[in-house]
Amino acid sequence: MTSLAHLAAGAERSLVQSVDWIALAPAALPAAVALVVLVADLFLPERRKPVLGWIAVAGLALSALALLPLLDGDRRTFCLTAQPDVCSYTADPFALSIQFLVLGGALLTALLSLGTLRDAELPAGEYWFLLLSAVAGAALLPASRDLATLVVALEVASLPTFALVGLRRGDRLSSEAALKFFLSSVAATAVTLLGISFVYAATGSIHMTQVADRLPDVPGRLATLVAAGVALTLVGFAFKAAAAPFHFWVPDTYAGAPVPVAAYLSVIGKAVGFSGLIVVALVAFPSYDDVWGPVTAVLAAVTMTVGNVAALRQRAASMHSAVRLLAWSSVGQAGYLLVPIAAAAYADDPGRAVGSTVAYALMYAVVNLGAFAVVALVARSNPANRLGDYRGLYTDRPLAALALGFFLLCLAGLPPGVIGLFAKVVVFQVAVDAGLGWLAVVMAVNVVIALYYYLRWTAVLFRSPEPAAAGSRPAAADGPGAPAAGAAVPVKRPVPVPLGAAMGLSAVLGAVLSGAPQVILRFASAVLL
């Protein structure tokens, strides 16, 4: 009986884990608010549905504030009782940085969405529940430190976005975009699970620290299996990051989704992919840097080239060409974000190289969400959202034109968008210091290519408006400055307060960061992992 009691006590000690709810709060709060919104939607009358949006905004703001108690140091939870240093959730500086990006970006997305829901007649309860659920998964992923939790977080972050993309019921373009996004994402998830199963079969553990310790001692007969598992796991996260050649879903998905959802995917969706790549590469697979380092470097070069060249081909008269240009631009920016991850495989201090990716991602999040805010504003008067619709925007809406011009210059890395220039220089320096001179050259060439289409769109904003003519307009020539063929004269509509707030907040943040770039660039000199 005594031995049985000891066995029972030992089993209890090995299974019961302490839970640090303060560490979990940034990921748990959006999930809790999502449930509140779902239940409240059942009881609120239709005219009171906008309240759900403000509940979501308040919940996201509270989730961001929940990061403050975690700034004093690393906190861990769901740790093995026999090995307290082996945990499933870690609130380290890297996780907190990405969670700040996710929650801040989601808050701006929520402000963009408040007016769009009413204009597009989208179901409010479903929209806010799905958005908050996706945010909960995105906030959980960077803190995940076992492969099972990582996959669960990845799917929680991804599955609601399929429904968000296709939420415009009866819209063929939206349904097609959601189906393409869903099928390609499911394939990527299957590849990731296959890779993780290979790694588990070789190491016997799903905890990343244990995987990292056991990989160097894997028997030679399993070496090929592990290398395949590492490569397949990276492929799944490369899809989420929109890295070429896994980027094919991006332009159609962005064009078919509501504009706030496209903005969310361009920033938070990328944060999910990049944080997953960084965690599995640097925490779980550091001994296989000879596998993931060269692969990531090639992906970076191909991704930035494909994205920037495709952005050059966008025509002014094409439907949704403004959103498509931002979609291809986001693919090009993904290539820049991959550069420090590749450099981490060759750097003496990989954790410091990762800081450059985080710094660039924070800059990109602010200015790209701001650009989408102006696109959402223009879409209210011009639903087709052609590049030609932006001609003369300064005459019609001077503040919006100045804001969009500033955001585009930040993305291009030109003054007064100083933060964009500094972020690119930091990424370039990391590549050179790691001995990836060829990748730095490819990046420099792509930055020059991107200058053309960013400056071309910026110039269109300040041209004289196209004079209205009786009947249909003549066929448009190629280029953003050309008018859209047969386009009707747009009707100027007032700017919704939340949309104006999102646009103004992004512009203010971009200006502050350009004046004091060290606020973000300090991440580039920090050891985050």
List, for residues 371-412, the tens digit of each pLDDT value: 999 999 998 888 888 988 898 899 889 999 999 999 999 999
**Which alpha helices (DSSP H) does 257-320 contain, by range?**
259-264, 270-278, 289-312
Q: Say if 506 falls within a structural domain.
A: yes
62: burial class by Cβ within 10 Å (0-12, 13-18, 19+)? middle
Contact 75, 21 (CB under 8 A): no
3-state secondary structure of 281: helix
Residue 156 falls within a domain, yes or no? yes
Helix pair 289-312, 321-344: axis angle to 10 deg: 160
pLDDT one-digit tens code per residue, 450-466: 999 999 999 999 988 77
Torsion of CA 313, 315, 319, 324, to 10 degrees: 40
State both tokens at 486: 């047969």
Please report whether residue 9 resides in a domain.
no
pLDDT digits (tens, 9 = 90+) for 412-426: 988 888 899 888 999
For residue 25, being part of any structural domain is answered with no
Which pLDDT tens digit goes with each residue over 99-135?
Answer: 999 999 999 999 999 878 877 778 888 999 999 999 9
Report the predicted TM-score, pTM, of the whole model to 2 decimal places. 0.90
pLDDT in tens, 231-264: 899 888 888 888 888 888 889 899 888 999 999 9
Tens of pLDDT along 325-342? 999 999 999 999 999 999
Per-residue pLDDT tens over the stretch 92-105: 889 999 999 999 99
**Position 477 confidence tier, pLDDT thresholds 50, 70, 90:** very low
The pLDDT, as a whole number, for residue 15 is 58
* 71, two tokens: 């700034």
Q: Which of 39-43, 304-308, 453-457, 477-481 has the lowest mean pLDDT?
A: 477-481
Asked whether residue 472 is domain-assigned, the answer is no
8 belongs to a structural domain: no
Number of domains present in the structure of the chain: 1
Residue pLDDT, tens place only, 423-444: 899 999 999 999 999 999 999 9
What's residue 491's pLDDT? Answer: 56
* Dihedral sign from CA coordinates of 215, 216, 221, 224: positive
**What does the alpha-carbon distance between residue 42 and residue 48 come to, in Å, rounded to a whole number?**
11
pLDDT exceeds cutoff 90 at 310: yes
pLDDT of residue 454: 94
> Which of the 8 DSSP states describes residue 207?
B
Average pLDDT over residues 297-325: 91
Which has more pLDDT, 326 or 167?
326
Contact in structure between 442 and 305 (CB atoms under 8 Å)? yes
Indicate whether 271 pLDDT > 70: yes
Q: Which burial class, exposed, middle or buried, applies to 394 when counting CB atoms under 10 A from its CB (0-12, 13-18, 19+)?
A: buried
User: What mean pLDDT comes out for the span 268-274?
Assistant: 90
Residue 488 has a pLDDT of 45
pLDDT at 308: 94
Q: What is the percent of the chain with per-residue pLDDT over 70, rounded to a whole number? A: 91
Rounded mean pLDDT of 144-153? 92
Whether the bond into 216 is cis, omega within 30 of 0: no
**Torsion angle (degrees, nearest 10) of CA 137, 142, 148, 151:** 50
Answer with the residue of higher pLDDT: 382 or 160: 160
Report the chain's mean pLDDT, rounded to a whole number. Answer: 86
Paired tokens of 422: 């500094």
Domain housing 408: 31-74+86-466+494-525
Arithmetic mean of pLDDT, 2-24: 60
74 or 309: which leads in pLDDT: 309
Residue 444: inside a domain, yes or no?
A: yes
* pLDDT exceeds 80 at position 215: yes
pLDDT category at 519 given cuts 50, 70, 90 is confident
